[in-house]
Amino acid sequence: MRASLLYQMGFAALAASSPITTVKKQPKPPAFFLAGDSTTASGGGWGNGFLTTLVGGAIGTNFGHNGATTESFVSGGDWANVIAAVKKNAGSYTPYVTIQFGHNDQKADKNISVAKFTSNLKSLAKQVTIAGGTPILVTSLSRRKYSSGAIKPDLVDQVNATLAAAADLKAAVIDLNAASMKYLNAIGEANARTYDLAEGDSTHLTPAAGVVFGNMVAGLISGSKVGAAVKGFLNEDQSIKAAIGSGTYIFPKI
């Protein structure tokens, strides 16, 4: 009995003196799925430029579609592909879906009221959450249309609707419209014209400009409510970051 008691006491003392080693669970890397119109899409948007900032095992896919609205993106099947990607990757990654529409929704022939646009955005965001992802609403990239030396704010209703939808849902949101307008006003029209995909095209971006505004998106996400969760997975080009921060024109070599 005494021997057993001494054994138990000795074991307890050993356990108390031994350090407890815990294995810190590593966070799953993010998977970014980009939903939007041509200002996000390959061949004229910021999406591919944003994907170049992903590091640390983060992955991403640009689902942007030229000419898309919040309704055609769904009816044409693109949205189903986004949701399928969220569900497929939720086990190994933390999915995020950027949602940026407005350029085409505002066109009269699309017959999408501001109220309907707002409702559509909220529906898309809710579906992302249900699928196991985190929505990030994105206000529309500014057009490069100037009047008296300053950018014409011609997406005001769609921008306000996006911000309102995010506020109602308490969802993450980045104001790309405000950030891009600020930068374009700083660099001036002559410099901004070099970002045009084609002469007279003040909406779509050259590949180099896509990298500039893709880095802008990365910076905005890093500063958003999901910033802490994606820290270490977004690596902005420091020269582009500095140029955006100082309002200095840059045309990166790619």
Q: Partners of 60 in the beta sheet?
A: 32
Is the C-alpha dihedral spanning 225, 115, 117, 104 positive or negative? negative
> Which tokens hold the place of 229?
């969760």
Identify which has the larger pLDDT, 2 or 187: 187
pLDDT score at 10: 47
Tell me what pLDDT residue 135 has.
99
In the DSSP assignment, the letter for residue 109 is G
Other beta carbons within 10 Å of 191 = 15
Q: What per-residue confidence (pLDDT) applies to 32?
A: 99
User: Helix or strand or coil: residue 62?
Assistant: strand
Share of the chain above pLDDT 90, in %: 89
What pLDDT is stored for residue 24 in this prediction?
Answer: 60
Per-residue pLDDT band for 7 (boundaries 50, 70, 90) equals very low
Tell me, what's the pLDDT at 11? 43
DSSP annotation string for 124-188: HHHHHHHHT-EEEEEPPPPP--EETTEE--TTHHHHHHHHHHHHHHT-EEE-HHHHHHHHHHHH-
Residue with tokens 């400009």: 209
Q: What is the tens place of the pLDDT at every residue in 231-241? A: 999 999 999 99
- Other C-beta atoms within 10 Å of 182: how many? 15
Q: Is the pLDDT of residue 228 over 90?
A: yes
- Give the integer Cα–Cα distance in Å for 179 and 188: 14
pLDDT at 100 over 60: yes
Q: How far apart are CA 190 and CA 206, in angstroms?
A: 15
Mean pLDDT for the stretch of residues 20-49: 89
For 53, 116, 129, 131, the CA distances from 50, given in Å and listed in that order, are 6, 29, 22, 23
What is the per-residue pLDDT for 27? 83
**124 burial via Cβ count (<10 Å: 0-12, 13-18, 19+):** buried
Res 15: pLDDT: 47
Asked if the model's pLDDT at residue 76 lies above 80, the reply is: yes
pTM of the model: 0.90
CATH of 27-246, one of 3.30.470.10, 3.40.50.1110, 3.30.1330.200, 3.40.50.460: 3.40.50.1110
pLDDT digits (tens, 9 = 90+) for 166-206: 999 999 999 999 999 999 999 999 999 999 999 999 999 99
Closest by CA position to 93, among listed 57, 62, 52, 125: 57
Tell me: pLDDT of 13 over 70: no
Q: CA 135, CA 120: separation in Å to the nearest integer?
A: 13
Amino acid 159 reads V
State the chain's mean pLDDT as an integer: 94
